[in-house]
A = this chain, B = another copy of it.
Amino acid sequence: MSACAGPAAIQLSRIMRPDDANIAGNVHGGTILKMIEEAGAIISTRHCNSQAGERCVAALARVERTDFLSPMCIGEVAHVSAEITYTSKRSVEVQVNVLSENILTGAKRVTNRATLWYVPLSLKNVDKVLEVPPIQYALKELEEEGKKRYEEQKLERLVTKQRNGDIIFPVINPEPYTVGYSQSSLIHLVGPSDCTLHGFVHGGVTMKLMDEVAGIVAARHCKTNIVTASVDAINFHEKIKKGCVITISGRMTFTSNKSMEIEVFVDADPFVDEPKERYRAVSAFFTYVSLSKEGKPLPVPQLLAESEDEKRRFEDGKGRYLQTKAKRQVQMQPLTQQ
Q: Which of A's residues lie within 8 Å of B, judged by CB? A: 2-4, 10-15, 17-19, 22-23, 38-39, 41-42, 45-46, 49-50, 52, 55-57, 74-75, 77, 101, 103-106, 123, 169-170, 172, 184-189, 191-193, 195, 197, 212-213, 215-216, 219-220, 223-225, 242-243, 245, 269, 271-273, 275
Contacts and interface: CB of A to CB of B under 8 A. Distances in A.
Given A13-B42, A193-B193, A23 B106 contact: no
Given A12-B13, A19-B191, A224-B272, 10 more contacts: A3-B4, A10-B13, A12-B186, A14-B14, A23-B272, A42-B77, A42-B245, A56-B272, A186-B186, A216-B245
B42 A187 contact: yes
A279 B220 CA distance: 15
Contacts of A216: 13, 15, 77, 103, 187, 189, 245
Given A18-B192, A187-B186, A271 B45 contact: yes
B49 A105 contact: yes
A17 B18 contact: yes
5 contacts: A10-B187, A15-B38, A18-B192, A103-B219, A192-B193
B172 A169 contact: yes
B192 A19 contact: yes
Contacts of A219: 103-104, 245, 271-272
A45 B188 contact: no
Nearest 10 Cβ contacts at the A-B interface: A170-B170, A4-B4, A4-B170, A18-B192, A192-B192, A18-B18, A17-B193, A46-B103, A103-B219, A13-B186
A38 B19 contact: no
Contacts of A10: 13, 187
Contacts of A269: 46, 220
A18 B215 CA distance: 17
B103 A272 contact: no
Contact of A15 (B56, B212, B272): B212
Contact of A225 (B23, B55, B272): B272
Contacts of A184: 13, 187, 245
Given A49-B272, A105-B223, A245-B216, A42 B15 contact: yes
B49 A197 contact: no
Contacts of A187: 10-12, 39, 42, 184-186, 213, 216
A10 to B, nearest CB: 6
Contacts of A56: 104, 272
A39 B103 CA distance: 12
